Structure 1
Amino acid sequence: MDNVTPTPPADFRIIPRDQHSISRRQISQSALRVLYRLHEAGHAAYLVGGAVRDVLVGLAPKDFDVATDATPEQVKALFRNCRLIGRRFRLAHVVFGREIIEVATFRANVDDGSGDREVHDGGRLLRDNVYGTVEDDAIRRDFTANALYYAIADFSVRDYVGGFEDVENRVLRLIGDPDTRYREDPVRMLRAVRLAAKLGFTIEPGTAEPLPRLAGLLGEAAPARLFEECLKMFLSGHAVASFEALERHGLLAALFPETAAALKSNRSGALRTMVLAGLRSTDARVAADEPVSPAFLFATLLWPAYCRAMIKLQAEGVQPVDAQRRAADRVTLHQLSTVALPRRFSLPMQEIWLLQARFPQRQRKRVTRMLSHPRFRAAFDFLVLRQAASEGHSEDVAFWDEAQRDPDHAIALYPADEDGGESPAPRRRRRRRRTATAE
């Protein structure tokens, strides 16, 4: 099935240098080198996409992408530090140390019969390597805000789809028919939520309307790709806004089905409070340029599912320790069918959950073992998050906070017997002196 080329919602517009805020000082030197070399070789050369959008809204871009009429092979001929990548979407990567400038050839939104454009029966785009003009390239991009072109030739911004006005109005709008565009690539639904959260944009009603209706299409996306999209969504400093948008637009149940079910059945709202507290903490760490572990992130997002699974197992007569392990395995296994969580993250996530049951235990040997556990600090931070939803954890938090500074003092303050109950500190047994005998 061929896709119909979407009609641009606005006339072509050139915004001259004195009417926009983009300066070459805001563009990486590597990107400028690529732009100038392409231009000097007689090719059209534009900075495009997120970098243009971010500068216009006052953000500092992390990546700089270039669009050109040069084919990937022509780009490679101009740059010795270039490698060609991709099959579904062929690109040139120009490498400058740790920085990579991605260079894409203008794409057309038609099938020319060459086999370089392939669309699944459901509308999903499998291959897209039919080249075209800059106008063709603009109308096949996803959102109008991402279809702005900064021209190195005259430092103007070229707008083919009304994106400049949408950026000024803080509106996120899909180019073309939303149903068709989401079916081409269901992950665009998550991109809509993520970009709106990051930029503080409102999703245009026509772009937002199909989201709950087409949410099930996310099941067709590769689980590994959804994992990467989750990292972008929740580890970029806008986790709370992204989570709330997933709920609002009916996408949470498609991405985290068991978590969504647990939150719906939790009448007190404590589980949702705890999840939001964790995501708020994640945003604060990102803002402070502190590391955030994906294992801790997913431990937070899937905690409601784990709690619900554990309660069900215990109600079926499974002993608590077994219920904890089986619940952890069950939730992880079920989630893997949607989001491919690598073992290097899923195993620490489970350890964070399972260690929660050990915090009420305050015997000296257990405290010592717990403090030396490689996942202790993450588990303790998780306990602190749980306190945000339930004051019942305050005594445990106080004890383990003290134990990290002075274990002996903490144990003396909170002595406990082997059953976990309060008991006096054990008395030292006096050794009997043996009577010396004459030889």
Structure 2
Amino acid sequence: MLQKSFKRLQQSLKVTPDIYNDKRFGVNKKNISINALNVISKLQKSGFQAFIVGGGIRDLIKGLHPKDFDIVTNCEPEEIRKIFKNSRIIGRRFKLVHIAFSDEIIETTTFRSGKDEDADSIEVNDKGRILRDNKWGTQEEDVFRRDLTINSIYYDPISSEVIDYTGGIKDLKDKKISFIGKAGDRILEDPVRIIRAIRFAAKLNFKIDTEITKAIQIHRQHLLDMPPARLYEEVIKLFLSGHAENSYLLLKKHGVFNVLFPHLQNSYDEYEDFYIEAFRETDKRYISGKTLNVGFLYAILLWPKVAVESDIANHINFKKFYRTIASVMRKQQMITSVPRKFTSFIKDVWMNQIRFSRIGKKSISFTQSLRFRAAYDFLLIRKSIEPKLSQSVNWWTEFKTANYDKKIRLLNTRKKNRNAKR
């Protein structure tokens, strides 16, 4: 099935590429990593083809400064390892080589093939899903193994040639996300391509091709067949790369957010503003270069279910709150696994929400605790849909920055006011 799919692709798409000089797109070679240039140069001097492919050339054409550069070559991994002593072969599903420099790692892959011979190198399951793919081929074959047209453009910075087999240049110009070949077939090969299409549409502010949107509606549930660890990695890319708000809106539009977080669907409308506020703040932190915490992201994503089931907005039942937290975390682990190192952080952020409503002598030590800042930031986001938290937020904002004597005065005043209301 897989080989037939690639054969259809090769028949439907032109084998002769469009070749452009990089001057046509105003490519600035000063924006290319010197390490990437050196790798390409060394491979070519060793008698191999070597190109920049994917996001590196895509961003260069768009006039951007790429953050990293992926290289593709007809040199096989073991041979790359011999040429570059500072490299190592990684991966089983897709074997590739990391060439390490002091300031970056250049990821280098070998052209892959879709030919029938030596099919043992390409492992698929009974649904046609690619499990392992280490059959080497030519550039003409390799292009049909890629998913998005805009990420399937090759660039040789030595000869200054930009090579396009799939209409990726046109899709870049039209600001469109398209798959190479039939969208349904490509998604069945690897359902994570659904998330990739949405992620790049969110990142680049491109529209998604109609054929893809229709295929997503039909095949989105196949995402649940993917390993939870792999979906976890995709969630991180969606929400911690500077386009969290756009990613959320597109995931929701195409019904994919419900698939990744199915137990939240009854809480969406009520917590829409909560998500928007949280993701906007996340994007602001990314743009300003501040650290982003995976645990905080998941605390945001899963909070609506915890809040609704525990009814924390109206009253606090500790046993119910604990049970809800355990249940929500357990269910999510089955879809997008959350590493254990983050689960305690998530639970602390949630549990500390209760401490904001229980002001007393321990409030001073609370402000000095390890997770206070994260819990406070979380409280600020909650305020976006819980106006009654405004008074509490104002009090804690003043309290956390006050010196010890002022903290005592604030606590005494709070106690007097509470007693006066009795």
User: When the two structures are superposed, what TM-score results if normalisation uses the length of structure 1?
Assistant: 0.90
Q: Residue 39 of structure 2: which of 30, 34, 39 is its match?
A: 34
Structure 1 CA distance for aligned equivalents of residues 197 and 307 of structure 2: 30
Deviation per residue, 1:153-190 (Å, 9 max, x gap): 41110000100111111111000111111111111111
Structure 2 CA distance for aligned equivalents of residues 114 and 383 of structure 1: 55
Aligned to 2:355: 358
Q: Residue 397 of structure 1: which of 393, 398, 415 is its match?
A: 393
* Higher helix proportion: 2
Aligned to 1:149: 154
Cα 1:283–1:2 shift into 2, 3 Å: closer
Checking the alignment, whether the CA contact within 8 Å between 2:278 and 2:300 is kept in structure 1 is yes
Checking the alignment, whether the CA contact within 8 Å between 1:259 and 1:303 is kept in structure 2 is no
Structure 2 CA distance for aligned equivalents of residues 58 and 304 of structure 1: 40
The alpha-carbon deviation at position 138 of structure 1 amounts to: 0.9
Q: Unpaired segments of 5 or more residues in structure 1?
A: 264-268, 426-439
Checking the alignment, whether the CA contact within 8 Å between 1:45 and 1:69 is kept in structure 2 is yes
Checking the alignment, whether the CA contact within 8 Å between 1:2 and 1:111 is kept in structure 2 is no
* DSSP 3-state at the match of 2:19: strand
Checking the alignment, whether the CA contact within 8 Å between 1:14 and 1:156 is kept in structure 2 is yes
Which range moves more in the overlay, 241-250 or 90-99? 90-99
Structure 2 CA distance for aligned equivalents of residues 295 and 280 of structure 1: 17
Checking the alignment, whether the CA contact within 8 Å between 1:21 and 1:56 is kept in structure 2 is yes
Alignment of 1:355-394 (within 5 A): 355-363=352-360, 365-394=361-390
Pairing 1:223–2:228 present: yes
Which range moves more in the overlay, 28-37 or 87-96? 87-96
The alpha-carbon deviation at position 123 of structure 1 amounts to: 1.2
Pairing 1:24–2:24 present: no
Structure 1 CA distance for aligned equivalents of residues 116 and 394 of structure 2: 65
Aligned to 1:283: 283
Aligned to 2:241: 236
The alpha-carbon deviation at position 40 of structure 1 amounts to: 1.2
User: When the two structures are superposed, what TM-score results if normalisation uses the length of structure 2?
Assistant: 0.93
The alpha-carbon deviation at position 98 of structure 1 amounts to: 4.0
Checking the alignment, whether the CA contact within 8 Å between 2:27 and 2:63 is kept in structure 1 is no
Aligned to 1:171: 176
Checking the alignment, whether the CA contact within 8 Å between 2:77 and 2:110 is kept in structure 1 is yes
* Number of residue pairs aligned between Structure 1 and Structure 2: 411
Pairing 1:298–2:312 present: no
Cα 1:111–1:88 shift into 2, 3 Å: farther
Amino acid paired to 1:275:
Y
Aligned to 1:309: 309
Amino acid paired to 1:282:
T
Identity %: 35
Aligned to 1:121: 126
Which range moves more in the overlay, 208-217 or 162-171? 208-217
Structure 2 CA distance for aligned equivalents of residues 71 and 328 of structure 1: 48
Amino acid paired to 1:290:
K
* DSSP 3-state at the match of 2:89: strand
Which range moves more in the overlay, 403-412 or 211-220? 403-412
Aligned to 2:141: 136
Structure 1 CA distance for aligned equivalents of residues 208 and 13 of structure 2: 16
Aligned to 1:209: 214
Structure 2 CA distance for aligned equivalents of residues 114 and 212 of structure 1: 31
Alignment of 1:400-411 (within 5 A): 400-406=396-402, 407-411=407-411
Amino acid paired to 1:208:
T
